[in-house]
Every structure is written in C-alpha cells, then in structure tokens.
Structure 1
Amino acid sequence: MDMAVESNVVSYAKVAAGARTAADSADRIDWVQLSLVYLPLATPVSDAKVLTGVQKPLTEIAFIFAEIRTRDGHEGLGFGYSKRAGGPGMYAHAKELAPNLIGEDPNDIQKIFTKLIWAGASMGRAGLTTQAISPFDIALWDMKARRAKLPLAKLLGAQRDSVQCYNTSGGYLHTELPQVLKNVETSRESGIGGIKIKVGQPDLGIDVKRVGEVRRLLGDNFPLMVDANQQWDRQKATRACRQFEAFDLTWIEEPLDAHDFEGHGQLAERFDTAIATGEMLTSFDEHAQLIMAGTDFIQPDAPRVGGITPFLKIMALGEYQRRKLAPHFAMEIHLHLAAAYGIEPWLEHFEWLGPLFNEQLQLKNGRMHVPDRPGLGFSLSEQAIAWRAEKTEFGKRP
C-alpha cells in the first residue's frame, strides 16, 4: 500500500474511533405525565346527528393531555380529545403506550410514532388506537419547535403568517334562527373571516330558509359554509346541494357518510359548490382514499389521525392532488399546520378551548395570526388543572 494512502487510512480510523454518533449524544425522554380533563360546555350542543336520534346533545369534551420532559430539560405539551364517548378509553390506552416513550430520543418522532402504532397493533391502526397516540406525537413536535425557539409553523416551513378563519359555534341546530343571526353579527364584528352554520333538518325547507336568512344578513360576498354532519343519503344530498347552489357557499360539509369517499367525489364533480369532508377519519390511509376520490376540501383533524406526524403526510398528498385544506376543530394546533400548507387554507374557530390555556390566539381582519411563542405556544391553565379527573406519571419526576 502506498505510504500516503496508508497514512490517510490510519488517520481516518483514529478519527472514526473517537467520533460520537448522533445516538451517542442524543437527549432522552425521562418523564411523561398524562391527564384526563373534562371541559364542560355552558349550553348542550346539537347538530343533525342529534335531530336524527343517532347521538345525544354534547355537554362536555374529554381531553387527554401529555406533558413530556427530557433528560436535558426540554418540555412539550400535546393533547387529544373525544366528544360524547371514548375519553376514558383513550386515556386507558394512552397509559398503556406511555412507558414506550421512556428512554427514546425525542427527536425521533417518526420512530416513536411507529413504535406506538405497533404497541397497539392488535387494536388496529385507526380509531381509538391512533387517537391515543396523538397527545404524545403533538407534544414531541411542540418540544422540537420549543427547542429550536420557533413557533411550530416556522419550524415546519410556514407559507403565511396568518390563516383565514371562520366560526362554527354560533350556528348549531339547537339555536333558534333569530339567535343564529345575532351570533353571526357578533362573529363578524369580532373580525371573523367566514361563517359556518349547521344544516340537516328532517325538513330540507327549514335548512334552506335558515341558510337564506344568514346569506341575506351577510351579503353576497362574505364567505358562508354549511355542515350536514353526515345525515343525508346520496339522493337527499343531491337535492340539497342543488338548492344550496343559489347561496354561493364556500363549501357544503359532510353531506354524506364520512366513509362514502366515492359519493363525496361525485358530488364534488357534479356541483359548482365545493364539497368538504374528512373530520371523522382517523388515519392517513382513510384520508388517502378520500383525497384520491376527489373531494374539494379535506378536513383532517390532527388529534384524530394520530398527531402531527400523519397529518403532515395527509397535507403532502392533499397538496399534490390540489385539494384545499380546512382542518377540523383544535385551532390551537391546526393554525400552525394550515400556515404551512401550499394552497390557501381555512381555519375553524372554536372559542370552547380558551379556558384550558393561559395564552390565546389573535384574530384580526378575518385571519388568525401565528403567535411568536415557541412551539404551539400554549401552557395549561389553573382551570384546566381544576377540571382534571385523573393523572398518571411515568419515569423520573422532573
């Protein structure tokens, strides 16, 4: 061997022998706390699922919070939720999964997500199984952005600093039309950028009247959406979409069963008014089927699909297929994700979660603005702690 080559080989071997790998220098998760918190609603809420008798009015929301801390002192906060039923089940499964995080590098978020999916694989890869993973996955993304001292939107690569925002909470079916109109006015005066009201009455004529009155109040150009909460079959949905064409709606949401991907695609092809759906789906695979079927707006929910890791994959496929994005609920998380989407998205405004956090978001000129706080930018309030029904810790207490 040439002496120069031999010298280089020896030098490289010495350097390699003394070098540290990424695994050698990695931080490690050493503490996880889970909390089950019940958020009471001031007024029981009803949509079309209540009117058709398949569900009872919504009176509270169960939240599962995950607080994660590492050996080097980094922290992250994430949450999942369930409406009406499932909260205790999600909490129980999350407790089974939590020990799998101890000792893991918090930066290996995809690795951890896969580990947790396999830990609960006998329960399936959708539904409660994935929803129980969400608090951990979201907390790890929150931690990664906090460590970088960036809002999560900036860490992901934001394409805008604010997102157009619409309100849903003032237009439920339990609310009489005069009050709906007052709520619409209040929302518009507060700076909201769009209004969504619920439809799905047994008598379609009542829906048409309510939508018509709201449209007259808002005028021709203000964004207006409606949501049928899956309570029509294909024939009734077709009739409803035909009548709603006259109101220049931004979209018609969930006109069909959430898993009728083909039917939603057909309505999107048939009518000028956009069709939106996806909030009830609980995996990337389900959303992939929906996206390929051709609906106009996709409405994934990060806590329902397993967290931010699968949500980013849904975003990538949705953008590739030129679908518009309007994430469901949990604006505290979805603001950051929507800000990173390539096609101008919408954000759903719910004030319900406000009491859970010490910080609030800023709404101005129809848009919700990304906060400058690192991570998601939220910490649990004393009220959230007071509503806590259970908590469990794993690993070494900080």
Structure 2
Amino acid sequence: MTDAIRRLRLSHVVLPLPSPVSDAKVLTGRQKPLTETVLLFVEVSTEQGFDGMGFSYSKRAGGPAQYTHLAEIADVAIGQDPSDIDRIYQSLLWAGASVGRSGVATQAIAALDVALWDLKARRAGLPLAKLLGAHRDSCRVYNTSGGFLQASVDEIKEKATASLEAGIGGIKIKVGQPDWKTDLDRVAAIREHLGDTPFMVDANQQWDRARARRMCRELEQHDLIWIEEPLDAWDAAGHADLSRAFDTPIATGEMLTSVPEHMALIDAGYRGIVQPDAPRIGGITPFLRFAALAAHAGLALAPHYAMEIHLHLAAAYPTEPWVEHFEWLNPLFDERIEIRDGRMWLPERAGLGFTLSEQMRAYTKESATFGRP
C-alpha cells in the first residue's frame, strides 16, 4: 500500500558553541572564529502515521538561506509517496531550478532528503545502515574538536588524552598557519605525545601548490593517516598530483557541494581519501550516488562532520572507513552514539536512531509547517 507525505515541519536552529574555535582560515585572516552552527531541521509525517527527521547545517553563513529556500519549495513534496525519495528530490530541484543544483539550493533539500531516508528505515524497523546494506556494525572513529588552532599544544595533548580514554581511536589537529614552522613544531609535539595512535592533520585549504609539496614532504616522517585539504578545495588536479606523489594519503572533499564537483577528483586521477559531507553534497541520495563511484574507483572514505548521519553511510561503504567525532550537536538529540575500542558503533534503533531534544526546540529561531496536521 502506498503512503503520502501529510505534513512537513521546518525549523531554523542556531546552536552556540561552548567557546569560539579557529582553524587556519582564521589565522590567515580569511574568516572569523566560529561561534555557532546553524541548522535546518525537517520533520516529516505521512498519512499512514510514519515519521522521519533530517537536518542540514551551515557554518558562518548560509543557514537562513537554506531555511528560506526549502520553505519556498517544500509544498511540492506534500502528497508524494515518501518511498519515492529520488523522485521527490528531482521535483524539488525543478521547483527551485533557477538557483541551480549545488550549494544552498541542494543543501536545503538535503534536510528533507535525510528525513525521508530516516523515515524509510524507521518504517522498515531497521537502522539506516542495515536498510542500505551494512558492511560492518562499527567504524573507526577519530576526534577533531580538540585540535583547533586557538588551543595550545598542552591543551591539545590534554584533550587528545581524554578522547582516547573515552574510546576514540584517532586524533586530528589543525595546521596551515602563516608560520609553517609552527605547524611542524606542533605536529612533532603531538606525535610524540600520541605514540603510535592514528594521527591526522588538516590544513583547511591554506597552502598553495609549492608550499603543499614542501609540507607534505616534511610531514611524511610523522606516519600520518592523512594530510587533509592541503590545497584549495576545488583544485582537483593539485590534490590528484599530491595523492600520487607522497606515501602519506591526501584527503579532501568536505567543502564540495555536488556530485560533479567530487567527480572532478576522480577524473583528475585522484588516489587519496574522499570526504563527502551528506548535508553539503545535497543529502543522502547524492552521497550514495558518489559513494558508489568512489568505491568503483577504489578510494577510501572518511565523511566530514555530522556523525549522526555519516556513521550509517560509512558502515555501508565497502572498504573500512573513518568517521569524524564532533560532540557539538549532542545537545540537539536525546540519544548518544556508543564509542569504545577506537570505534563508533551503530545504534540498534531504527532510522538514524535519534529523536530531537527539548534543547533543540529552545534553540529554534523560527519554524514553518506545510500540509495538514
């Protein structure tokens, strides 16, 4: 028996961070410290009484635009069968065709797309990973939130130790400062502190090609799991060249906002680690489309941020991935993900496995409802 979408509720949520954080884009003067994350939540209900929840997000700018765009086109989804996720996706793309098929246009749709996948898995009584076809019940997990550049080396060491004691398996820190020697000193100090613990660094796009080659060469000695975004995110050829030149894997992709942008890496001969972000690429539907192509190309996967979504998608990837741990979104949900033995474990709860908290309601700045109660 077919079903139909009865009601959609959109929420514009502003989540303050406990304290401002800075990566290399701040120290090089390109951005201001990050103080909050803005999210677009979608709650979907059907005629047969099934529900789903999804979200997308933005940092520094774009959150109100996501909310406004989806509010303009959301009524197109009312009455459609929630099982026909790609059909609904295409109808929303056409409803907002004049603003394109990437960036804010699809990041707005992403929140509804995630909610529909959550609903489909809940209706099946399965965790989303099991609905997709899981290859594993847990994924390797690393922490980033303790390694930002406003923190001293001693602070990073303390936070890294706490993360490892909490069961996290790897540590990532930020690099890419104006003084590259400071970067190397910090990396050496943290590597010494961590011993043989898996260790990653992230330059957040702050090197040109010449500096990136020199830094990658210097960093080879530290046995890193990867060097992330050494170049501008859209420099597919540059990232491909680096991925073939060094033993340390190169990772990139978190900033890309469409499947074609990610495919440019593969077309350029990239051999590194891909880091698609489901809310940024436009939802789970395009994420899965690119993941199939990345797996065919033999690329490793380490999705960016949003572990509440990406744990499921990583668990369904053919080769062993990494999932990024950020505790920032914890206040928005009633449940927590189990982390132990260096791994993040799939919840047994259906769908994504999360319900929205009262704190999420308190952080909501505006909301809109479409359809009928």
TM superposition shift of 1:305: 0.9
Q: For 1:348, give the aligned amino acid.
A: E
* Paired residues of 1:276 and 1:295 also in contact (CA < 8 A): no
Within a 5 Å distance, the mapping from 1:347-386 to structure 2 comes to: 347-386=323-362
**In the alignment, does 2:223 pair up with 1:248?**
yes
Unpaired runs of 5+ residues, structure 1, are 1-24
Task: Provide the residue aligned with 2:235 in structure 1.
Answer: 260
Task: Provide the residue aligned with 1:200 in structure 2.
Answer: 176
**In the alignment, does 2:257 pair up with 1:282?**
yes
Within a 5 Å distance, the mapping from 1:96-115 to structure 2 comes to: 96-115=72-91
Within a 5 Å distance, the mapping from 1:90-169 to structure 2 comes to: 90-169=66-145
SS across alignment from 2:15 = strand
Count, aligned residues: 372
CA distance in 1, matches of 2:357, 2:271: 38
TM superposition shift of 1:263: 0.2
CA distance in 2, matches of 1:38, 1:27: 33
CA distance in 2, matches of 1:52, 1:295: 29
Runs of 4+ in 1 over 6 A off after TM superposition: none
TM superposition shift of 1:289: 1.1
**In the alignment, does 2:49 pair up with 1:51?**
no
- Aligned-residue CA RMSD (Å): 0.7
TM superposition shift of 1:288: 1.1
CA distance in 1, matches of 2:364, 2:272: 39
Of 154, 158, 162, which aligns to 1:178?
154
**In the alignment, does 2:345 pair up with 1:392?**
no
Task: Provide the residue aligned with 2:199 in structure 1.
Answer: 224
CA distance in 2, matches of 1:340, 1:292: 24
Task: Provide the residue aligned with 1:4 in structure 2.
Answer: none
TM superposition shift of 1:292: 2.8
Q: For 2:108, give the aligned amino acid.
A: A
CA distance in 1, matches of 2:56, 2:73: 14
Q: For 2:248, give the aligned amino acid.
A: T
Q: For 1:69, give the aligned amino acid.
A: S
Task: Provide the residue aligned with 1:77 in structure 2.
Answer: 53
Question: TM-score, normalised on structure 2?
Answer: 0.99
SS across alignment from 1:360 = coil
1:237-294 per-position Cα deviation (integer Å, ceiling 9, x unaligned): 0110010001000000000000000000000000100000000001111111123321
CA distance in 2, matches of 1:119, 1:327: 29
Task: Provide the residue aligned with 1:331 in structure 2.
Answer: 307
1:22-52 per-position Cα deviation (integer Å, ceiling 9, x unaligned): xxx4100010000001100011010000011
SS across alignment from 2:98 = helix
TM superposition shift of 1:295: 3.9
TM superposition shift of 1:124: 1.1
TM superposition shift of 1:184: 1.0
CA distance in 1, matches of 2:49, 2:255: 36
Percent identity of paired positions between Structure 1 and Structure 2: 59
SS across alignment from 2:16 = strand
Task: Provide the residue aligned with 2:186 in structure 1.
Answer: 210
CA distance in 2, matches of 1:121, 1:216: 52
**In the alignment, does 2:62 pair up with 1:86?**
yes
TM superposition shift of 1:117: 1.2
CA distance in 1, matches of 2:247, 2:61: 36
**In the alignment, does 2:285 pair up with 1:273?**
no
1:61-90 per-position Cα deviation (integer Å, ceiling 9, x unaligned): 001000000000010000000001111111
Unpaired runs of 5+ residues, structure 2, are none
Within a 5 Å distance, the mapping from 1:1-20 to structure 2 comes to: none
Q: For 2:240, give the aligned amino acid.
A: G
CA distance in 1, matches of 2:164, 2:49: 43
CA distance in 2, matches of 1:30, 1:296: 43
TM superposition shift of 1:97: 1.7
1:309-340 per-position Cα deviation (integer Å, ceiling 9, x unaligned): 00001110000000000000000000000000
SS across alignment from 1:197 = strand
1:78-133 per-position Cα deviation (integer Å, ceiling 9, x unaligned): 00000011111110001012101101000000101111111112111111001000
CA distance in 2, matches of 1:210, 1:97: 48
Q: For 1:50, give the aligned amino acid.
A: V
CA distance in 1, matches of 2:17, 2:32: 14
